[in-house]
Amino acid sequence: MKLTNLVTAGAVLAASFTASLAQANEFRLGLITPPNHIWTKGAESFGAALSDATGGAHSVTVFPARQLGNEAQMLQQLQTGALDMAFMTVAEVSNRAPDFGAFYAPYLANDIAHASRILATDTATAMLDQLPAKTGVVGIGYGMAGLRQILARGDVKSAADLAGLKLRITPFDPILDFYNAIGAAPTPMPLPAVYDALANGQVDAIDMDAELIWKLKYYEHSDTILQSNHMMFPMVGLVSARVWKDLSDEDRAAIDTHMKAALAAIITEYVEKDVAWLDQVKGTGENYVEVGPEFFGDALGKWDAIWSAKSSQLGALRDAAAAVK
Ligand code: BEZ
């Protein structure tokens, strides 16, 4: 190659390298779940896939276990652009966008597979459209954890036995209203505080999913395991709207594709494992009681009365759920 050609080729190479550097991003993704939790692993797979797909131009550093703060704080950071991405409970989102409270309608989902189909409906997907305006974030898609169960210290034979119990809940309104309707004393508490609170008797009962009941051995500190399957527990993959607006179409498409894939894999894992975790808990020989909607009596009607006023999507989501039964 002649010297002039060599210089030109070098200049082109340098220019394209600079251009790719200008678009390179080191994204930060926060979550509240511990490092070995399915959501955290899913976030890491998303980061690896995005990095692969962009030839290493984009990377994602995952901050689990509330390293960046609780979900309310992370949502604020997303709004200002201080945080790029999060995998967050829909519970937290519903504190700002009450329409999302509809997902917590007791027994909206018949089982875990039905929960996954509800999240895939057009109605559920369309709800994400309101997030940029209401919360300053872009909702890429849904993930989830397992259905909710109840563990209590002491015997529970009817919902009346839950009355007055200090019962740990994830801090958000739809579940608060559910346990208030039962007559329990719902006690909002973030996930990392739950183990000690149950073990040392600071709470009498907890609302929890099968995965964590099994893996964190919550069942060892309770006398009754109520398999109630009373609520689904969706999660949502979010990108800061401020960060999103500065991304190229190509980068947006790559994030969309790989985050959606990671979220779908999370859902698949819960569908495959939720019942098996419960079976393992059952197999421990602990006092295991299976109940359905009738156990909660008029609490379900009371919840409905509150949330049909608070969420404009409750009717539409019920119709969507019925259509994918
Ligand atoms: C909870 O608050 O119970 C919870 C939060 C995130 C993932 C799973 C459970």
Residue 192: inside a domain, yes or no? yes
Cα(28)–Cα(60) distance, integer angstroms: 6
7 assigned to some structural domain: no
Same-domain status, 311 and 213: yes
Residue 267 CB less than 6 A away from ligand 1: no
pLDDT, tens digit, for every residue of 264-274? 999 999 999 99
* Whole-number pLDDT of residue 29: 98
Residue 12 within any structural domain of the chain: no
30 and 90 in a common domain: yes
Same domain for 142 and 32: yes
Separation between Cα atoms, residue 40 and residue 46, nearest integer Å: 10
Q: Is residue 15 part of a domain?
A: no
In a domain, 199, yes or no: yes
91 CA distance to ligand 1 centroid (A)? 9
Q: Is the pLDDT of residue 85 over 50?
A: yes
Check pLDDT > 90 for residue 124.
Answer: yes
Q: Is the pLDDT of residue 11 over 50?
A: no
Integer-rounded Cα radius of gyration of the chain: 22
Query: Are 219 and 251 members of one domain?
Result: no
| In-domain check, residue 2 | no
Contact 149 CB / ligand 1 (< 6 Å): no
Could you give phi then psi for residue 3, rounded to 5 degrees? -60, -40
| 216 shares a domain with 129 | no
pLDDT of 191:
92
Tell whether ligand 1 has an atom less than 6 A from the beta carbon of residue 40.
no
191 lines ligand 1 (CB under 6 A): yes
The answer to whether residues 59 and 117 belong to one domain is yes
Q: Is 277 helix (H, G, I), strand (E, B) or coil?
A: helix
State which residues form the domain around 71. 26-97+110-146+233-277
Regarding the beta carbon of 145 and ligand 1, being less than 6 Å apart is answered: yes
Nearest atom of ligand 1 to the alpha carbon of 39: 7
Share of the chain above pLDDT 90, in %: 92
Selection from 291, 292, 305, 299 nearest residue 182 by Cα: 299
Strands 224-227 and 148-152: antiparallel
What spacing in Å lies between the alpha carbon of 30 and ligand 1's midpoint?
A: 14
Query: Do residues 167 and 216 share a domain?
Result: yes
**139 and 272: one domain?**
yes
Q: Is the pLDDT of residue 202 over 90?
A: yes
Q: Which of the four pLDDT bands, split at 50, 70 and 90, describes residue 23?
A: low
pLDDT digits (tens, 9 = 90+) for 215-242: 999 999 999 999 999 999 999 999 999 9
Question: How far is the centre of ligand 1, averaged over its atoms, from the C-alpha of 191 (Å)?
Answer: 6
In a domain, 44, yes or no: yes
Burial class (CB in 10 A: 0-12, 13-18, 19+), 51: middle
Q: How much is the average pLDDT of 98-113? A: 98
| Whether pLDDT at 180 is above 50 | yes
How far is C-alpha 304 from the geometric centre of its chain's CA atoms?
Answer: 22
Are 39 and 188 contained in the same domain? no
When mean pLDDT is compared across 10-14, 25-29, 149-153, 315-319, the lowest value belongs to 10-14
- Please give the full DSSP string across 243-312, using - where no structure is assigned: HHHTS-HHHHHHHHHHHHHHHHHHHHHHHHHHHHHHHHHHTTT--EEE--GGGGTTHHHHHHHHHHHH-T
Nearest 5°: the CA angle 139, 43, 212 is 100
Whether 170 is in the pocket of ligand 1, judged by its Cβ within 6 Å, is yes
Residue whose CA lies nearest to ligand 1 atom number 5:
191
209 lines ligand 1 (CB under 6 A): yes
For residue 262, being part of any structural domain is answered with yes
- 197 CA to centre of ligand 1 in angstroms: 15
pLDDT at 98 over 60: yes
Residue 130 shares a structural domain with residue 92: yes
For residue 291, which of 103, 106, 91 has the smallest C-alpha distance? 106
> What pLDDT shows up at residue 24?
73
pLDDT tens-digit readout, 282-297: 999 999 999 999 999 9
> Does residue 158 share a domain with residue 54?
no
pLDDT of residue 15: 37
Ligand 1 center–CA 215 separation, angstroms = 13
Instruction: Write phi, then psi, for 297 (nearest 5 degrees).
Output: 50, -130
Q: What is the CATH number of the domain that holds 48?
A: 3.40.190.170
Q: Are residues 170 and 194 in the same domain?
A: yes
The pLDDT-based confidence of 81 (bands split at 50, 70, 90) is: very high
The domain tally of the chain equals 2
